[in-house]
């Protein structure tokens, strides 16, 4: 059986070979950067949120990425509509519940999408993940006020209840489907100084889901790849502006073999 490091290399090679279309309904803040990141890693991005085309668009996609960073009523409706269509087609869906727990709109919107669609992966920081279960969990804006370890037990329970895979990202990422638990240690401190890094990690998971049918391995290998890109970028960038550009270059230049060797993935 292949190790997760070997699977990471295989997934990256397959992604660049197949170039799957990744349908994003995401936020204004990150739209350009996440599209460029998907192109750099080898996928084909489309950013389409109009209600009268999302069902058609998701029909062509290898994965659907839903991100609630800049919500409006119309965008929520589009996410639900696209999600229902993707669920019917068995197209993988990844949800990024940006700021869930900070306001009722965000928390309720995330829960509505989860209730009405079949989500393959939910990626968030610890506070966002906790808010999906505990009504008294509050985030500080879109930044986490909880640690990954604080949310680990809840994540296992919640993953089983929702029958989905949860990815809690932080200094060490935790991925669980309620049974399996995987931790990923790749990353760089400057990733926290570039807006939308988490959102871009979500799109990377979407891209890997398009070529790997196992949500746990797809998520773990995608986060290892994205974290390794941060490490590579940090070797030549000393500040956030240059780091952001170097991240795109690293997503493009890292080879499958380099990913296999550089993975820091541990299954518990």
pLDDT digits (tens, 9 = 90+) for 6-60: 999 999 999 999 999 999 999 999 999 999 999 999 999 999 999 999 999 999 9
Tell me the whole-structure pTM to 2 decimals: 0.93
Query: Cα–Cα distance between 52 and 157 in angstroms, integer?
Result: 37
The pLDDT score that the predictor gives to residue 9 is 98
Whether 183 shows a pLDDT value over 70: the answer reads yes
**pLDDT single digits (tens) 151-176:** 677 788 888 888 899 999 988 999 99
Nearest to 92 by CA among 115, 62, 67: 62
Residue 140 pLDDT more than 50?
Answer: no
Tell me, what's the pLDDT at 148?
65
Q: Which residue has the higher pLDDT, 182 or 148?
A: 182
Topology of domain 4-267, CATH: 3.40.1190
Burial status of residue 52 (CB atoms within 10 A of its CB: 0-12, 13-18, 19 or more): exposed
Residue 150 in this model has a pLDDT that exceeds 80:
no
pLDDT of residue 139: 38
Distances, alpha carbon 168 to alpha carbons 109, 147, 223, in Å: 19, 9, 10
Is the torsion defined by CA of 234, 99, 163, 14 positive or negative? negative
Cα angle for residues 140, 141, 145 (degrees, 5° grid)? 30
pLDDT of 112 over the 50 cut: yes
Give percent of the chain above pLDDT 90: 82
Is residue 249 very low, low, confident or very high in pLDDT (cuts 50, 70, 90)?
very high
pLDDT tens digit string along 83-109?
A: 999 999 999 999 999 999 889 999 999
Inform me whether the pLDDT recorded for 145 exceeds 60: no
Mean pLDDT (whole number) for 225-239: 97
């Amino acid at each position: 059986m292949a190790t997760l490091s070997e699977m990471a290399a295989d997934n990256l090679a397959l992604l660049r070979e197949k170039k799957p279309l990744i349908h994003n309904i995401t936020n204004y803040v990150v739209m350009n950067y996440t599209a460029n990141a998907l192109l750099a890693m080898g996928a084909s991005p489309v950013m389409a949120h109009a209600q009268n085309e999302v069902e058609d668009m998701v029909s062509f996609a290898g994965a659907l990425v839903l991100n609630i960073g800049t919500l409006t009523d119309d965008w929520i409706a589009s996410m639900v509509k696209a999600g229902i269509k993707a669920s019917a087609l068995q197209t993988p869906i990844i949800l990024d519940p940006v700021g869930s727990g900070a306001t009722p709109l965000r928390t309720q919107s995330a829960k509505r999408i989860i209730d009405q669609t079949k989500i393959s992966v939910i990626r968030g920081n610890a506070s966002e993940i906790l808010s999906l279960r505990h009504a008294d969990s509050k985030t500080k804006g879109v930044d986490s006020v909880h640690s990954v370890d604080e949310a680990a037990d809840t994540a296992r329970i919640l993953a089983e209840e929702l029958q989905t895979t949860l990815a809690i990202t932080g200094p060490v990422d935790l991925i669980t489907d309620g049974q399996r638990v995987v931790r990923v240690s790749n990353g760089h401190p400057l990733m926290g100084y570039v807006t939308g890094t988490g959102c871009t990690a979500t799109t990377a998971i979407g891209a890997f889901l398009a070529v790997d049918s196992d949500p746990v391995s797809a998520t773990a290998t995608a986060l290892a790849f994205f974290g390794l890109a941060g490490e590579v970028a940090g070797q030549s960038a000393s500040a956030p502006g240059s780091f952001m550009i170097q991240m795109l270059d690293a997503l493009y230049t890292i080879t499958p073999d380099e990913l296999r060797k550089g993975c820091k993935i541990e299954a518990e």
